[in-house]
Structure 1
Amino acid sequence: MIEDEARAWLAERFPAAAIARLARFAEIVTQETERQNLISPSTIPLIWSRHIVDSAQLVSFAPAAARHWVDIGTGAGFPGVVAAILFDGPVTMIEPRAKRATFLRDTADALGVAATVHQTRAEAAPIEQADIISARAVAAVDALFGMTMRYRSPETTYLFPRGRTGQDEIVKARAEWHGTFHVEQSVTDPTSTILIATGVRARCSASR
């Protein structure tokens, strides 16, 4: 997917006001990357396809009844800030690094989106329950299941963009976790996938 295709993909699915916010977010990330290493400088010319649409595509897999989206290790704001712009409900972003957490709070305020940022590890986040849990380039699938067990429910939907190692991670996760696992093709990269998991629970409950 090239940049023009990425913008066209968004225009077909989301209102102009949301896309304007995404454009402002892209500007904020580009400017801040000059001060701290938010994203690789080599990906700035590809920010719409590589980062924004790669995050935005997750929204199409959000269950209609979902109300609370939690993003783990949000970092530069992908997918957490993008979800906060496009998802119809509150978004909580978990980011352990102080400088990144401050950036996320300032960005949410600048964009006027409903988002909460917790500077903490995923295991310690003060969250009661999440309807959706996402994470992008944070940890392996099985590790993410383990670190979010406290605030998931049988109805929680996991949305994990995975790269070339995605299939191997899914096989490993199935060895330790029950659940319904579904894989979708990423619209931005033919070698990447999105893991959608529901009903996740440990195979040996006593160990979790």
Structure 2
Amino acid sequence: MNEDEAHDWVSERFGAAAVDRLRRYEDILLTESERQNLISRGTIPSLWTRHIVDSAQLIAFAPGDASRWCDIGSGAGLPGLIVAILLPIEVVLVEPRRKRAEFLADAASTLALSNVQVSQSTIEKTTLAGRIDVISARAVAQLDTIFQLTSHLASSATRFILPKGRSGVDELASVKRNWQGVFHVEQSVSDAESIIVIADGVTRRCSASR
């Protein structure tokens, strides 16, 4: 997928207005990237493919009735801000680093995203009242660590949507020793070597706690 194809991919699925909103986000992201290292400079020429489509594709795997999405280690807002731009649901962005949390809050304000809540905290110290329908984490930690750190937030109804690189299949095989649930893998549309791990009803295996 090249950049023109990435623009077309978004337009076909979310409409031309969504492309315009994402272009505004792109401008904000590139401007802030001059001040702090939000994304690798080497990925800027392919920003729509490597970051925007890579994030937007996760929406297709969310439950149809999802109303609350929690994104861990949001950093540059990937995928959390992309989800908030494209979906009219509540999105919680969990980011422990102060400057990045400030960027996320400022970007949400500039883009008039009233559905965004920024939590400057590590995920294990984050407390959120109410149900969380989706948890995402992009380039944050291995699957086992993600499940451990979010165990106080997830319920049996929570769906994990976790983009992974080449190590994803091996991570999934390993994590099943400690965790049970319904797991399956989807192919990334933005990178032939990447996958998306979808997990429902994740709970720790009893033997794993002994």
TM range (shorter): over 0.9
* Aligned match of 1:54: 54
* Aligned match of 2:126: 125
State the Cα deviation string for residues 65-114 of structure 1 (Å, max 9, x = none).
Answer: 11100000000110010011112311000000000000000000011111
Equivalent pairs counted in the alignment come to 208
* Aligned match of 1:194: 196
Alignment of 1:163-202 (within 5 A): 163-202=165-204
RMSD: 1.3
* Aligned match of 1:75: 75
The separation in 2 between residues aligned to 1:205 and 1:27, in whole angstroms, is 49
* Aligned match of 2:154: 152
The separation in 2 between residues aligned to 1:76 and 1:201, in whole angstroms, is 30
Aligned-partner SS, 1:39? coil
> What amino acid does structure 1 have at the position aligned with 2:9?
W
Unaligned ranges ≥5, structure 1 = none
State the Cα deviation string for residues 108-167 of structure 1 (Å, max 9, x = none).
Answer: 001111100000010111213310000000000110001011111111000000001110
Between 26-35 and 67-76, report the one with greater CA deviation: 26-35
* Aligned match of 1:143: 145
Contact preservation (8 Å) 2:10, 2:18: no
> What amino acid does structure 2 have at the position aligned with 1:9?
W
Alignment of 1:7-18 (within 5 A): 7-18=7-18
* Aligned match of 1:3: 3
Structure 2 CA distance for partners of 1:205 and 1:199, relative to 1, 3 Å:
farther
The separation in 1 between residues aligned to 2:109 and 2:209, in whole angstroms, is 41
Contact preservation (8 Å) 2:177, 2:208: no
Deviation at 1:204, TM superposition (A): 2.0
Provide TM-score, normalisation by structure 1.
0.97
The separation in 2 between residues aligned to 1:184 and 1:30, in whole angstroms, is 30
Is 1:85 aligned with 2:85?
yes
Between 24-33 and 47-56, report the one with greater CA deviation: 24-33
The separation in 2 between residues aligned to 1:85 and 1:109, in whole angstroms, is 12
Unaligned ranges ≥5, structure 2 = none
Between 198-207 and 154-163, report the one with greater CA deviation: 198-207
> What amino acid does structure 2 have at the position aligned with 1:156?
T
The separation in 2 between residues aligned to 1:182 and 1:118, in whole angstroms, is 29
The separation in 2 between residues aligned to 1:174 and 1:126, in whole angstroms, is 26
Aligned-partner SS, 1:150? coil
Deviation at 1:207, TM superposition (A): 3.1
The separation in 2 between residues aligned to 1:158 and 1:18, in whole angstroms, is 25
* Aligned match of 1:28: 28
The separation in 2 between residues aligned to 1:133 and 1:41, in whole angstroms, is 27
Deviation at 1:205, TM superposition (A): 7.7
The separation in 2 between residues aligned to 1:139 and 1:130, in whole angstroms, is 20
Contact preservation (8 Å) 2:11, 2:18: no
